[in-house]
A = this chain, B = another copy of it.
């Protein structure tokens, strides 16, 4: 994984060391800036079924409405647009939100990276993998579990940069809790820019932090470019059920006004924040997401917006969140279909799990989330790598395991090659009954690209595996991320831009006191 990333660093010619590494890690999967799927979408519901959910979502928007809290400007925008505003409760004529979205929101858009080769297309047949978002803790086999720091943050930015199967640097890859709450966004955004050249996410914890994110992006991309292009994607969560709070609305307004993209995502643990049923949960989250997306179009028509959802369930015994179970997969397939019918990109899924450690539970649950994610046609996959413990913890070993699985998804989404070479009839004719294909012409011609090659799996004999220390997957993953970080070299960053960013941060940090909120 390491060497392919490094070969593509701008401005550096590959040397002998790179060539050796490239030979060692050559993979069947060509490196791409994002995936363009070649296999069909999986649908669980018929059009008639989806219409039932759409109808119910409209009923929720019309009868119950959505709260837009602590934001008088938002309520005024809704009033002017013709919604029924009563206190902070906004009720919408049937079809209003849908029409607002369909009138101006783009069906798909490009998020530009500072390295143009890493720009991603969000929407349509495309899938973009980004790391997990938000964990205050980290875990690795050396140290166990502890609070995350800015050094961990940089490490995960580096790991995502080095992975050929993650297309995006993500946002809060972990919470750098060693920095003041009201200033850590500077270091987070700077780290994404400095230690990676992949696209990244902005801060949403306050309107002014969103503004800082945009201002830093302007230093990198230029002011005019930012106003006309998407260079930051940000996560605008609903407070389900049926509430958007002032913080999120404040951040959304900043990003929308600057034409930057938003993932409007109801965060739902079904049974607590929505009904215990799949169809009920889908109707509610679709209502919430439509209200949020329509709001962004009131702020700036045409601002890129993504229908997002984070959906899982709770244990009805303990109330604890659960992951990788069948019901959230059904929600995911359904919501993805609703997004396609609405005509906006869709964000969901990832490699979610409830396990505290990268064990079989973590893997079962992650796979049972990630495979539905890609089969459903999710366009932006937050939480692709690193997620442990319901999102409370970012795992170093889990990160590289998940990235390996993301690599497999690349291969899956390429589908079946029906070219003459893919049909392989010459091989069958050459080999014939009772012989083996190992040395035949076709096998030798396709040797290097045949079959995805895992960086984590051990497929050796039991005896060889035992001789090598009887390691489990987590211990092999441990070696992988250690080696990646040891071999990491930063992508070039224009020294003038770097200086401007540092100057901006120093000035801004000095202009207000540290705070823990």
Contact = CB atoms under 8 A, between A and B. Distances in A.
Interface stretch (A162-170, A312-320, A485-493, A500-508): A312-320
Interface stretch (A8-16, A152-160, A251-259, A424-432): A424-432
Interface string A440-471: 00110011101111101111111001100010
Contacts of A458: 354-356, 361
A242 interface: yes
Nearest to A461: B320
A227 interface: no
A309 interface: no
B284 A428 contact: yes
Nearest to A274: B437
A33 interface: no
B356 A359 contact: no
Max count, chain B CB within 10 A of own CB: residue among A450, A461, A470: A450
B276 A459 contact: no
B327 A411 contact: yes
A103 interface: no
B277 A450 contact: yes
B423 A280 contact: yes
Interface stretch (A38-46, A105-113, A124-132, A186-194): A38-46
A345 to B, nearest CB: 22
Interface stretch (A55-63, A174-182, A205-213, A217-225): A55-63
Interface in A232-262: 239, 241-243
Residue among A273, A278, A470 with the most chain B CB within 10 A? A278
Contacts of A329: 412
A457 B318 contact: no
B425 A59 contact: yes
A433 B89 contact: yes
Interface residues of A, number: 126
Contacts of A459: 315, 318, 320-322, 354, 390
A415 B330 contact: yes
Contacts of A142: none
A326 to B, nearest CB: 4
A277 B423 contact: yes
Contacts of A358: 360
Contact of A330 (B59, B360, B416): B416
Interface stretch (A73-81, A196-204, A367-375, A379-387): A367-375
Nearest to A317: B453
A409 interface: yes
A45 B460 CA distance: 33
A516 interface: no
A316 B447 CA distance: 7
Contacts of A361: 363, 456-458, 472-473
Interface stretch (A64-72, A115-123, A298-306): A64-72
Contact of A450 (B276, B356, B431, B443): B276
A279 interface: yes
Contact of A474 (B360, B408, B421): B360
A283 interface: yes
A438 interface: yes
B366 A368 contact: no
A364 interface: yes
B275 A241 contact: no
A96 to B, nearest CB: 18
A272 B437 contact: yes
Contact of A423 (B283, B357, B411, B422): B283
Nearest to A411: B326
B279 A356 contact: no
A3 to B, nearest CB: 16
Contacts of A392: 462
14 contacts: A42-B42, A42-B375, A271-B450, A273-B437, A275-B428, A276-B443, A276-B446, A277-B423, A280-B428, A316-B450, A356-B466, A360-B363, A364-B473, A392-B462
Q: Which 5 A-B pairs have the closest CB atoms?
A: A280-B424, A275-B424, A363-B363, A367-B367, A242-B433
Given A145-B462, A360-B362, 4 more contacts: A273-B436, A280-B423, A327-B411, A367-B368
